[in-house]
Chain A
Amino acid sequence: MILKMDNICKSYFRGKNEVPVLHDICLSVEKGDYLAIMGPSGSGKTTLMNILGCLDKPSSGVYRLEGENVAAKKDNALAELRNKYIGFVFQSFYLMPSMSALDNVALPLMYAGVPKKERLERAREALRGVGLAERMKFLPNQLSGGQCQRVAIARAMAGRPALLLADEPTGALDTASGEQIMDLFDEINARGSTIIMITHEPAIAARAKTVCHIRDGRLSVPGEEVR
């Protein structure tokens, strides 16, 4: 088991008002799973994703990632956890505009303390893996949206994380580039990586092995409704 969430709740404070966003989320993900989370806007998908990605802490409940208790960790320890176990793919790519594709991909490896030569080699390999062998020296603004997202995927996978988290990875792309991204995800999943993906589009969600729905902060996982 890669991760396990038990009764995760998250609320935000607006002034003195407590606004609950997530209610009693329970979720377990096994190695090799490919999960899609669907839900209407404002239902708490990104909030859940942030907690899954150790970017944010739950208000209550227990979250274990690779056996580690996330809630107990501090800022720096969380950074280490993210670096080690999680690859992120964001809707709007979030590449460093001043860095080449190669340097972007090598960035998390630098934080992991991989020596320069090895990290460039691994970054090259990751870029080859997403079909961008020809574009390593390009800056993000010299690449198309689909190419940028592939660079982002290469960056997410370069550190060989246990878990790939994607928040609307095709949201900013046309159908054709979206298809390419989904093909890449299939490939990555086929090689044994675990993927959790947020999406609006049923066609995209259909490519996952499991589709969960979130509504008003409550998650329903197929096969577990009875519980």
Chain B
Amino acid sequence: MLGNIHQAFLGIWHHKLRSFLTMLGIIIGIAAIITIVSTIKGTNDQIKENLIGSGNNVVVVSLHQGDYQMDLSEGQNLADVSVITEETRQRLEELDGVVAVALFRQRQWNAQVYYRGTEYNGYTYGIDEHYFPVYGYHLCYGRDFQPEDRDENRKVAVLDAQAVSSIFPGENAVGKTLEIKGEPFTVIGVVERSSKFRPVIESMQDYYMYADDSSGSVFLTEQGWEIAFGYDEPQNAAVKAESTDAMTTAGKSVADHLSAKQIRNSKENNLSYKSEDLLQQAEQLQTMSDSTNKLLIWIAAISLLVGGIGVMNIMLVSVSERTHEIGLKKALGAKRRRILGQFLTEASVLTSLGGLLGILGGIGLAKLLSKAMDTPTAISVPAIIVAAAFSIMIGLIFGLLPATKAARMNPIDALRRD
């Protein structure tokens, strides 16, 4: 076996150019597959990361009417929905799979945030002290909310980096005053999330909904929120789950608990708390991006098929070139299996060498592509293993016919031919 492999390498080296040209189909096919799979995986990882928030495992539970999230932009306080107390929040944290719960209120439209007469169009949040830790925000500069800010109802705001760049481009935001619903709020600090948000599949609107955070966030304390937007508005809960897999169940149990405890006459109002199932949405997005790449995989598979036929062709040539050798070996007592093994080994060494070059080329191409087009790629180890196994298999499959032909050769015919 080892001798066969050695012989195969010698043979391939002897016909360098021919072997390389033969391998080309395999190289291109495997490289294409590795590149595509790496890009798919990179994109998927990015989608998941963007949607789920890079290991933060936070799922949002919010008030829904029917299947739709309740629109609270007019500042209604709903008589049938009571405000979630600290005691309830602590109870929620004890639920299965839940690590921490933060409460917040939120506006995207109609927040009426102005700086020097220009309106700001991002999100505005009223948050409790658990919100930043739950989402993994950390302070960039200035200062975080202090207990005194809450106790003394100070009108202060913390911005994230995007909000800073959209409201105060090129300026230091700390110390500036924002006008929110006619009330002046002083910016005291700037925060940032550890994971970067970057849209990948720009054609998908769904994706935008979650990934388009470009206009940023302005954060107020709960107390500040009440000054600007009014009291007793229903809260949302940001639930940090134990693990990514626990997100769905953790979100659901918090939602069920809140629906049962906080809402009166939920039937008539058709009100309930629901958790957005990000994991499920991420999977849906992934299957969508997968299917767009299925076509490419097919093209790569056809290239492999063509490559395999090329290998078969060159192996047939090799067999007829070596009729003497085969005839002699058979005359000296080589059995069919041995001849078969020799040519199968040669074919699969040829294709696995092609596969190896293809894998290296594919990794290189994926890296290059991610540099040039600024798309993420993730090298998939299983894909590499499958590609390697596949290229050996192509050699075995397409080498079988030539090898069988060689093994069945009649020694006298083989010896006679000059």
- Give chain B interface residues in 403-418, CB to chain A under 8 Å: 408, 410-412, 415
Would you call B412 and A56 a contact (CB within 8 A)? Answer: yes
Contacts A94-B324, A111-B338; A82 near B412 (Cβ below 8 A)? no
Which residues of chain B come closer than 8 Å to A50, judged between CB atoms? 412
Contacts A55-B411, A55-B412, A111-B338; A98 near B10 (Cβ below 8 A)? yes
Would you call A82 and B331 a contact (CB within 8 A)? Answer: yes
Is A68 part of the contact surface with B, judged by Cβ < 8 Å?
A: no
Report the tally of A-B residue pairs with Cβ distances under 8 A: 47
Would you call B336 and A76 a contact (CB within 8 A)? Answer: yes
Question: Which one of B330, B333, B410 has the highest number of Cβ atoms from chain A below 10 Å of its Cβ?
Answer: B333
Which residues of chain B come closer than 8 Å to A79, judged between CB atoms? 330, 333-336
Would you call A80 and B328 a contact (CB within 8 A)? Answer: no
Which residues of chain A come closer than 8 Å to B415, judged between CB atoms? 55, 90, 94
Of A82, A90, A96, which contacts B333 at CB under 8 A?
A82
Interface residues on A, range: 20 to 34
Q: In the complex, what distance in Å separates the CA atom of A76 from the CA atom of B335?
A: 5
A88's closest neighbor in chain B, by CB?
B331
Is A108 part of the contact surface with B, judged by Cβ < 8 Å?
A: yes
Is A139 part of the contact surface with B, judged by Cβ < 8 Å?
A: no
Which residues of chain B come closer than 8 Å to A108, judged between CB atoms? 332-333
Is B325 part of the contact surface with A, judged by Cβ < 8 Å?
A: yes
Which residues of chain A come closer than 8 Å to B328, judged between CB atoms? 94, 96
Q: In the complex, what distance in Å separates the CA atom of A155 from the CA atom of B328?
A: 12
- Least CB distance from B346 to A in Å reads 13
- Least CB distance from B325 to A in Å reads 7
Is B329 part of the contact surface with A, judged by Cβ < 8 Å?
A: yes
Which residues of chain A come closer than 8 Å to B10, judged between CB atoms? 98
Q: In the complex, what distance in Å separates the CA atom of A90 from the CA atom of B329?
A: 13
Interface residues on B, range: 10 to 19
Would you call A83 and B412 a contact (CB within 8 A)? Answer: no
Question: Could you tell me the dominant secondary structure of chain B's interface residues?
Answer: helix
B339's closest neighbor in chain A, by CB?
A79
- Give chain A interface residues in 70-102, CB to chain B under 8 Å: 75-76, 79-80, 82-84, 88, 90, 94, 96, 98
Which residues of chain A come closer than 8 Å to B329, judged between CB atoms? 107, 111
Is A53 part of the contact surface with B, judged by Cβ < 8 Å?
A: yes
Is A112 part of the contact surface with B, judged by Cβ < 8 Å?
A: yes
B408's closest neighbor in chain A, by CB?
A75
- Give chain B interface residues in 366-418, CB to chain A under 8 Å: 408, 410-412, 415
Of A56, A75, A76, A83, which contacts B332 at CB under 8 A?
A83
Would you call A111 and B333 a contact (CB within 8 A)? Answer: yes
Would you call B412 and A107 a contact (CB within 8 A)? Answer: no
Q: In the complex, what distance in Å separates the CA atom of A155 from the CA atom of B329?
A: 12
- Least CB distance from A82 to B in Å reads 5
Contacts A94-B324, A96-B328, A98-B10; A111 near B335 (Cβ below 8 A)? yes
Would you call A111 and B332 a contact (CB within 8 A)? Answer: yes
Would you call B331 and A53 a contact (CB within 8 A)? Answer: yes
- Least CB distance from A66 to B in Å reads 15
Which residues of chain B come closer than 8 Å to A107, judged between CB atoms? 329, 332
Which residues of chain B come closer than 8 Å to A94, judged between CB atoms? 324, 328, 331, 415
Which residues of chain B come closer than 8 Å to A155, judged between CB atoms? 332
- Give chain B interface residues in 204-235, CB to chain A under 8 Å: none
- Least CB distance from A148 to B in Å reads 13
Would you call A75 and B336 a contact (CB within 8 A)? Answer: yes
Q: In the complex, what distance in Å separates the CA atom of A67 from the CA atom of B328?
A: 25
Q: In the complex, what distance in Å separates the CA atom of A75 from the CA atom of B334?
A: 10
Question: Which one of A55, A56, A96, A112 has the highest number of Cβ atoms from chain B below 10 Å of its Cβ?
Answer: A55
Which residues of chain A come closer than 8 Å to B336, judged between CB atoms? 75-76, 79
Q: In the complex, what distance in Å separates the CA atom of A90 from the CA atom of B333?
A: 15
Q: In the complex, what distance in Å separates the CA atom of A112 from the CA atom of B330?
A: 12
Chain A to chain B: the 7 pairs with minimum beta-carbon distance, closest first: A83-B333, A111-B333, A108-B332, A76-B335, A94-B328, A55-B412, A55-B411
Interface of A with B (CB < 8 Å)?
50, 53, 55-56, 75-76, 79-80, 82-84, 88, 90, 94, 96, 98, 107-108, 111-112, 155
Interface of B with A (CB < 8 Å)?
10, 324-325, 328-336, 338, 408, 410-412, 415
Q: List 14 A-B contacts (CB under 8 A).
A: A50-B412, A56-B412, A76-B335, A79-B330, A79-B336, A82-B333, A84-B333, A88-B332, A94-B328, A94-B415, A96-B328, A98-B10, A108-B332, A111-B329
Further 9 A-B residue pairs, CB within 8 A, beyond A55-B415, A112-B333 = A50-B412, A75-B336, A79-B333, A79-B336, A82-B331, A82-B332, A82-B333, A88-B331, A111-B333
